[in-house]
Amino acid sequence: MDATDESSTTAVCIRLRRNGPLVLTGPVNLVREDGSLLREADSMALCRCGASREAPFCDGSHRVTVFRDD
């Protein structure tokens, strides 16, 4: 990362919500495999249950599927 890049000095926090999504807070850039930007945000929730219709983002489907952590 370039020293002038603002994101290099600001921490991103990734929190695992029990029986729920991964919640990312901070200056988050989600980048596709080809390098293009999918979303830039101050926070986002990523699906872990596999049932989201808005994958990779959480749409709350874990509640309906009764997703549980192993």
In tens, the pLDDT along 24-70 reads 999 999 999 999 999 999 999 999 999 999 999 999 999 999 999 98
Q: Nearest to residue 62, comparing CAs of 11, 8, 20?
A: 20
Predicted model pTM: 0.82
- List of residues 6+ apart from 33 with CB closer than 8 A: none
DSSP state of 57: B
Q: What structural domains does the chain harbor?
A: 6-65 (3.40.5)
At 8, the pLDDT band (50, 70, 90 cuts) reads low
CB 39 within 8 A of CB 54: no
The whole-number pLDDT of residue 64 equals 96
Measured CA to CA, the distance from residue 25 to residue 15 in angstroms comes to: 8
